[in-house]
A and B are shown apart, each in its own frame.
Chain A
Amino acid sequence: MLGDETGAAHMVDRRTLTLPLSAEDVSSLRAGDLVFLNGLLITGRDKVHKYLVEQRPPKADFPFDISGTVLYHCGPIMRKTEDGYSVVAAGPTTSIRVEMYEADVIREYGLRGIMGKGGMGEKTLKALQEAGCVYFHAIGGAAAYLADRINKVVTAWKLEEFGSTEAMWFFEVKDFPAIVTMDSLGNSMHKEIEKTSFRRFSELILSKGQGTGQKS
Chain B
Amino acid sequence: MLKLRDGIVELYRKVATSLPPDIEDAVKAAHAQEADSSTAASTLAVIAENIKRARETFRPLCQDTGVPVFYVKVPVGLSHNELRSTILEATREATQKVPLRPNAVDVITEKNSGDNTGEGFPVIYFEETSGGTLTVDLMLKGAGSENAGQMYKLPLAEINAQRDLEGVRRCVLDAVQKAQGRGCPPYIIGVGIGATKDQVTRLAKEQLMRKLTDVNKAGELAELEQQLLGDINSLGIGPMGLGGKATALGVKIGVNHRHPASYFVDVSVGCWAMRRGRLIW
Q: Residues of A with Cβ closer than 8 Å to B?
A: 1-3, 5-6, 8, 11, 32, 34, 74-77, 79, 88-91, 93-94, 96, 117-119, 137, 139-148, 163-165, 177, 179, 181, 189-190, 193-194, 196-198, 200-201, 204-205, 208, 210-213, 215-216
Contacts and interface: CB of A to CB of B under 8 A. Distances in A.
A211 B173 contact: no
Given A77-B60, A165-B101, A200-B236, 7 more contacts: A2-B45, A75-B101, A94-B144, A117-B181, A143-B59, A200-B235, A211-B164
B118 interface: no
A-B CB proximity, top 9 nearest: A118-B182, A145-B50, A89-B63, A140-B184, A142-B50, A144-B54, A197-B235, A141-B273, A143-B63
A163 B223 CA distance: 47
B227 interface: yes
A118 B60 contact: no
A90 B241 contact: no
B234 A204 contact: yes
Contact of B162 (A142, A179, A211): A211
Most buried by B among A74, A181, A212: A181
Contact of A79 (B53, B99, B103, B180): B99
A57 to B, nearest CB: 19
B237 A143 contact: no
Given A163-B112, A193-B241, A11 B60 contact: no
Contact of A94 (B65, B147, B162): B147
B63 A75 contact: yes
Contacts of A216: 227, 231
Contact of A6 (B45, B184, B235, B238): B45
Contacts, number: 187
B81 interface: no
B177 A181 contact: no
Interface stretch (B36-44, B126-134, B252-260): B36-44
Contact of A208 (B166, B180, B242): B166
A165 B104 CA distance: 11
Given A140-B144, A200-B236, A216-B227, A194 B165 contact: no
B50 A143 contact: yes
A143 B166 contact: no
Contacts of B191: none
Given A210-B162, A216-B227, A3 B235 contact: no
Contact of A145 (B49, B174, B272): B49
Contacts of B101: 75-77, 89, 165
A200 B173 CA distance: 10
Interface of B: 37, 39, 41-43, 45-50, 53-54, 57, 59-65, 99-103, 112, 114, 142, 144, 147, 159-160, 162, 164-167, 170, 173-174, 177, 180-184, 223, 227, 231, 234-238, 240-243, 271-273
B114 to A, nearest CB: 8
Contact of A34 (B42, B50, B64, B102): B42
Given A163-B102, A204-B173, A205-B159, A213 B165 contact: yes
B60 A144 contact: yes
A205 B63 CA distance: 37
Contacts of B223: 215
Contact of A117 (B45, B174, B184, B234): B184
A151 B61 CA distance: 19
A141 B182 contact: no
A190 B180 contact: yes
A212 B99 CA distance: 50
A89 B223 CA distance: 39
A121 B240 CA distance: 16
Nearest to A13: B37
A120 to B, nearest CB: 10
